[in-house]
Structure 1
Amino acid sequence: MSYVGPDFDPPQPRRPRRRPLTVAVAALVPGALLGWLVYEAVGGSGGDASEAVGTPSFSSSAPASPTAASTSAPKSTDDEKPSPTPSTSAPAASGPLKGKVVVIDPGHNPSNFQHTAEINKKVNIGTNWKECDTTGTSTNSGYTEAKFTLDVAHRLRTLLEKQGATVKLTQDGDRTYGPCVDERARIGNKAHADAVVSIHADGAGAGQRGFHVILPGSVHAGAADTRPIVASSADLGERIAGNFVRVTGSAPSNYVGDGTGLVTRKDLGGLNLSTVPKVFIECGNMRDTKDAAQLTSGAWRQKAAQGISEGIVSFLRG
């Protein structure tokens, strides 16, 4: 099903069509879109996302030697005080998610731009080699993706802790750069996380709007074997997409995903190397002025965190 929200410009030319989605996607997301239409009818607003699909955050390159990330700790520019990486909440005494571990992966790092040599070094993602990390994108006014992802991560952590979950962050603005994409995956694996969500915002062209959730494709090469987590990650992603529509009023991307808000990829190290259920969410397109107005709004970022949280809770409670 394709979809264009009533306040969207005509869709831009699509990327090549992705592989067919599961029956579960067809059942869940259209219902969420119906909720979106009701929301718009009573005055809601539309769409948001991050890691550019045309130029993914983890771009391909020729093989080279992997490099370990530094662990020194500068001050965070975000509202919350950073803690050692990975940042971990104290287990809650009670709540429906007591005993569950959630890893939140805020995409990029506010200081990556100061360490381009380090983040351009390659790490092995099983299928090939990729840059350690990238700087991420930003709005036309200079609000960075790294700052956005940390803010949403902090809000999401608070919401999940209230549900009783133990929450870990892959980084909290407390490192000089990174972590690299392979280390981000290892953090979730080592924590034996019940769910991992990597937060991003896209850098696509103007007029390309909306969010999308990236699911791991079936990969079996080198150190990568996503086959055991493909189904569970799809379930996690579908639940997040449906709740994100409902809570934020945002529409699914009008430039990837054929209107479902779901995209499957095999080129992202953070997904390829995961051994636990994991998805990425591109919350909106920072390079589109309408999406950027939402991404720069604290009130909207709270809705984004709420939508992601409710999707995670739904997944973990079955």
Structure 2
Amino acid sequence: MVIDPGHNPGNFRHTAEINRQVDIGTNRKECDTTGTSTNGGYTEAKFTLDVARRMRELLEAQGATVKLTQDGDRPFGPCIDERARIGNEAKADAVVSLHADGSGTGNRGFHVILPGAVKAGAADTRAIVGPSRELGERIAGNFVRVTGSAPSNYVGGGTGLVTRKDLGGLNLSTVPKVFIECGNMRDSKDAAQLTSGAWRQKAARGISDGIVSFLRG
């Protein structure tokens, strides 16, 4: 399976490269973004990499073969189209893209983003919509159970699930894939969790348990 830690700590130093437009099927979008950060300066890119490494350890202990789209081992990126390609070329049974949101204060909780049905240009998600929803539902259920975090109070109508057709990482995927926004970095209560190593370990376990449950059917 493939874990995709959103953004890259080096993106801040490579703005020209990450602003380059890439084709996501439905339209063109910048290669990548810097991501957000807590008010205290803890970046989303550091958060996603930490959770990805914790997940890799947990999943490998269960016998899974795990690949990361980046492991802090490249100066920036990869671009969103390459992130999708890595999962596709690995013929991954599941791909999870890790993120944390940068929404307004008072907006709290996690949400899982599912691919909508898209057929445009290089994008055709129709075959992965069903299995991706199943993956997303299992991750959401396990995330609540392990972290005690509530589904988002600002998107998804309390379900913790949101469908989108504007994300290149989902549009270009040919294997089951979801994004998870683990919390809102701009809310002080969520930020206190996101900056805690103990909580990140729970987040890693919740997401990993959801993946394992999906893979076992």
Instruction: Quickly name the TM-score band, shorter chain normalised.
Output: over 0.9
Question: Which residue in the other structure is 2:176 paired with?
Answer: 277
SS of the counterpart of 1:197? Answer: strand
Question: Which residue in the other structure is 1:188 paired with?
Answer: 87
Any runs of at least 4 consecutive aligned residues in structure 1 with deviations exceeding 6 A, and if so which? none
1:314 maps to 2:213:
yes
Tell me how far 1:151 sits from its aligned partner: 0.2
1:113 maps to amino acid:
F
1:198 and 1:257 map into 2 onto residues whose CA distance is 18
Q: Percent identity?
A: 85
Question: Which residue in the other structure is 1:251 paired with?
Answer: 150
Point out where structure 2 has 5 or more consecutive residues left out of the alignment.
Answer: none
Alpha-carbon deviations, 1:132-174, whole Å to 9, x = none? 0000000000000000000000000000000101000000111
1:292 maps to amino acid:
A
1:295 maps to 2:194:
yes
1:137 maps to amino acid:
T
Match of 1:146 among 45, 48, 71: 45
Tell me how far 1:215 sits from its aligned partner: 0.1
SS of the counterpart of 1:111? Answer: helix
- Higher Rg of the two aligned structures: 1
1:120 and 1:196 map into 2 onto residues whose CA distance is 24
Alpha-carbon deviations, 1:97-138, whole Å to 9, x = none? xxxxx1000000000000001100100000000000000000
Point out where structure 1 has 5 or more consecutive residues left out of the alignment.
Answer: 1-101
Match of 1:178 among 59, 67, 77: 77
1:115 and 1:199 map into 2 onto residues whose CA distance is 21
Alpha-carbon deviations, 1:166-204, whole Å to 9, x = none? 000000111111000000000000000000000000000
- Aligned Cα RMSD in Å? 0.3
Query: What TM-score comes out, normalization by structure 2 length?
Result: 1.00
1:133 maps to 2:39:
no
Question: Which residue in the other structure is 1:93 paired with?
Answer: none
1:303 and 1:134 map into 2 onto residues whose CA distance is 26
Question: Which residue in the other structure is 2:164 paired with?
Answer: 265
Tell me how far 1:217 sits from its aligned partner: 0.2
SS of the counterpart of 2:99? Answer: strand
SS of the counterpart of 1:104? Answer: strand
Matches within 5 A, 1:25-174: 102-174=1-73
1:110 maps to amino acid:
P
Question: Which residue in the other structure is 1:208 paired with?
Answer: 107
Tell me how far 1:242 sits from its aligned partner: 0.3
2:145 and 2:194 map into 1 onto residues whose CA distance is 17
SS of the counterpart of 1:209? Answer: coil
1:197 maps to 2:96:
yes
Higher helix proportion, which one? 2
1:306 and 1:237 map into 2 onto residues whose CA distance is 15
1:271 and 1:265 map into 2 onto residues whose CA distance is 8
Tell me how far 1:209 sits from its aligned partner: 0.3
SS of the counterpart of 2:41? Answer: coil
2:46 and 2:20 map into 1 onto residues whose CA distance is 23
Tell me how far 1:253 sits from its aligned partner: 0.2
Alpha-carbon deviations, 1:67-100, whole Å to 9, x = none? xxxxxxxxxxxxxxxxxxxxxxxxxxxxxxxxxx
2:63 and 2:14 map into 1 onto residues whose CA distance is 37
1:171 and 1:288 map into 2 onto residues whose CA distance is 27
Question: Which residue in the other structure is 1:35 paired with?
Answer: none
1:282 and 1:300 map into 2 onto residues whose CA distance is 14
Query: What TM-score comes out, normalization by structure 1 length?
Result: 0.68
Count of residue pairs the alignment pairs up: 217
